[in-house]
Amino acid sequence: MPIALPVPDVVSLDLLHSVAELGSIRRAASAHGVSQPAASMRLRSLEATLGVQLLDRSAGRARLTPAGVAVVRWSEEVLDGVRTLLAGTAALRAGGRTQLRIAASMTVAEYLVPGWLNALRGTEPGAVVSLQMGNSEQVLEIVSRHRADLGFVEGSAAPAALASRVVCDDDLVLVVAPGHPWAGRRGPVSAAEVAAAPLVLREPGSGTREVLEAALAASGLVPSPLVELASTTAIKAAIGGAAGAAVLSRLATRAEVEDGRLVAVATSDLPLNRVIRAVWDASRVLAPVARRLLAQLGVDDAGPPAARAR
């Protein structure tokens, strides 16, 4: 059916995501290569188009309102669709040039894949790469259905149906807003306290959720969800202005912890170590560009699964 007008501007939605991720309009504007006044104007126009206040500007630093958090969450699929459209049309323009299809979990896609692809361009300048994002469960499904050549997932266990190799470690960290009671705590928080606390969690099927649940289950505990969100960005925005806590990738929270927007809280009896894995279908021959990317990541054996799974 036709879309009822007015339609929000995709660039402005992407800018709103950057504000949620980076914590300020100034930083988001810099990331998008525009001036702060121009970014502010775009965001106010987006608010006018949608008819809701997305940012609270009263405290000197723009923070997402509850409506803003919801819009960030709802617009993820829209932005993913635009990225897919752009990747697809780039592939059409590429003609016979080398193509590589990657699927990656959200944390990997946001914080690791861009650097990997920049390095790949040094050896494969003509490669056209398309990227699909989802949680770890969705990435495994994409690779299993041959809709991607390589997948990158988070978690504690190797998937049984696909070949896999560990690429790197990425532990999780308990984070809260500066005003949370745990922010000034001297001693570590126990697993029982984490389980009893209202938590802002990733959705079931995500590698982050899997590791947290496994760590709590080792002590016979289960988490207490305050809310479930399918985006690390949305979770950080939610706990930044609320009483909840979250367990997220250290990679994904480093900037916020360093500048004081979030506080990392020490934990006890709660193992939050995990690994990032490359996964692929061993029954299919990997293209040279895929093998080259794996080699750059330290995976130089694309032979039989038994020789490389760990």
Which string of DSSP letters, residue by residue, matches 245-280? BEEEEHHHHHHHHHTTSSEEE-BSS-----EEEEEE
The CATH homologous superfamily to which domain 172-265 belongs is: Periplasmic binding protein-like II (3.40.190.10)
The domain limits of the chain are 10-74, 77-169+275-308, 172-265
Of residues 183, 168, 157, the one with CA closest to residue 261: 183
CB 79 within 8 A of CB 14: yes
CB 28 within 8 A of CB 36: no
| pLDDT value for 306 | 36
pLDDT digits (tens, 9 = 90+) for 114-149: 889 888 888 887 788 888 888 888 899 889 888 899
Give the CATH fold of the 10-74 domain. Arc Repressor Mutant, subunit A (1.10.10)
pLDDT digits (tens, 9 = 90+) for 20-79: 877 788 888 888 888 889 999 999 999 999 999 999 888 667 888 889 988 988 888 888
Burial class (CB in 10 A: 0-12, 13-18, 19+), 176: buried
Is CATH 3.90.1210.10 what the domain over 77-169+275-308 is classified as, yes or no? no
Q: What amino acid occupies position 177?
A: A
Mean pLDDT of 228-232: 83
**Residue predicted with more confidence, 72 or 230:** 72
Distance in angstroms (rounded) separating the CA atoms of residues 63 and 132: 28
Strand 224-229, strand 198-202: pairing? parallel
Q: What are phi and psi of 278, to 5 degrees?
A: -90, 135
Q: Do domains 10-74 and 172-265 have the same CATH topology?
A: no
pTM exceeds cut of 0.75: no
